[in-house]
Amino acid sequence: MDYTNMIMVDSKTILPSCGAPYGGELPDGEVTLKEMTAHEIKILSGAHGSGYATLNGILRRLVIDCKVSLDQLLTSDRLYLLYAIRYLAFGPEYGFSYKCSDCGLQARDTLNIAELDIKYYNDEDDWEEPFTETIEGVEYELVLPRGFVEKNAEKYVERAYRRGTDGDPYQLYLVAACIKRAGDKEFKNINKAVLHVQNLPARVFWALRDVIDDHDYGMPDTVEVTCARCGYIMDIPLPMTAEFFRPRNPRGGKR
């Protein structure tokens, strides 16, 4: 498959992984979506607590022929589905605000989901999991994060905050959950993996993040914007604003 942008034909879409991680249960990664209704808006509006549970509730209602458990989907495929659901409901465009890091201008721009460069699985890729990477002489055996990792990460973070942790342990947990082995150390206990990651040099931590990201598929992490006043070009995190599920001009219809 040689895709670069979101595939949306009627109500069918193709996951960035193209189904490769799922042992033939999702041939070519094709799934069918239902269009969002006011009921799903009610779920989102009343959401509190677990973001994972809210997202799972939306996906469970609107992804109608996925033969893989939502917990087993790659987190990148799950995020893609959220954008595909938005596209199907309101069209590809939504507005966002940003601040120019050069001249300080507060400005608005429009993101078009249909034009985003999405990383898809390619037929030339050799899907293999776990995969290995050697960093500073240590061979790491790694897997990609899946839905259940998000769920467990939320619980871990909640417990960590109750204990009075410093900083946000979410990203640390996600990396730890992807490590199955470091050298001759096998991690069957997530707490031992977290402790290992916590004590890594920062450069090794970021190297692990890069390796995991390089093997993963899905939406881009950032988008490029150009300041309307000074012309400065910068990358900002992929925005998900209030307009994502509450467009300013819903009567304009889908395009």
Instruction: Tell me the per-residue pLDDT of 186-229, one tens digit each, with 9 for 90 and over.
Output: 998 999 999 999 999 999 999 999 999 999 999 999 999 999 89
Q: Kindly state whether residues 159 and 83 are assigned to the same domain.
A: no
- Residue 126 inside a domain? The answer is no
Domain, as residue range, for 139? 131-215
Q: Kindly state whether residues 116 and 31 are assigned to the same domain.
A: yes
Q: Within 10 Å of residue 127's Cβ, how many Cβ atoms?
A: 13
- Residue 230 inside a domain? The answer is no
The answer, yes or no, to whether residue 254 has pLDDT greater than 60, is: no
Q: Kindly state whether residues 144 and 117 are assigned to the same domain.
A: no
- Residue 99 inside a domain? The answer is yes
pTM: 0.89
How many angstroms separate the CA atoms of 238 and 235, rounded? 9
What's residue 255's pLDDT? 46
Q: Kindly state whether residues 18 and 115 are assigned to the same domain.
A: yes
Q: Kindly state whether residues 112 and 186 are assigned to the same domain.
A: no
Residue 91: CA count within 13 A, CB half-sphere: 16
Q: Kindly state whether residues 164 and 103 are assigned to the same domain.
A: no
Q: Kindly state whether residues 143 and 113 are assigned to the same domain.
A: no
- Overall average pLDDT of the 79-96 stretch: 93
How many angstroms separate the CA atoms of 229 and 114, rounded? 26
For residue 9, the cross-strand partners are 12
Q: Kindly state whether residues 113 and 151 are assigned to the same domain.
A: no
Q: Kindly state whether residues 14 and 101 are assigned to the same domain.
A: yes
| Structural domains in the chain (count) | 2
- Report which of residues 35 and 43 the model is more confident about: 35
- Computed over every residue of the chain, the mean pLDDT equals 89
Confidence of residue 128 (pLDDT cuts 50, 70, 90): confident
- Report which of residues 83 and 3 the model is more confident about: 83
- Residue 221 inside a domain? The answer is no
Token match 């990203």: residue? 171
Q: Kindly state whether residues 34 and 97 are assigned to the same domain.
A: yes
Supply the CATH number for residue 146's domain.
3.30.2220
Confidence of residue 48 (pLDDT cuts 50, 70, 90): low
Amino acid 135 reads I
- Overall average pLDDT of the 52-66 stretch: 88
Q: Kindly state whether residues 103 and 48 are assigned to the same domain.
A: yes
Q: Kindly state whether residues 20 and 87 are assigned to the same domain.
A: yes
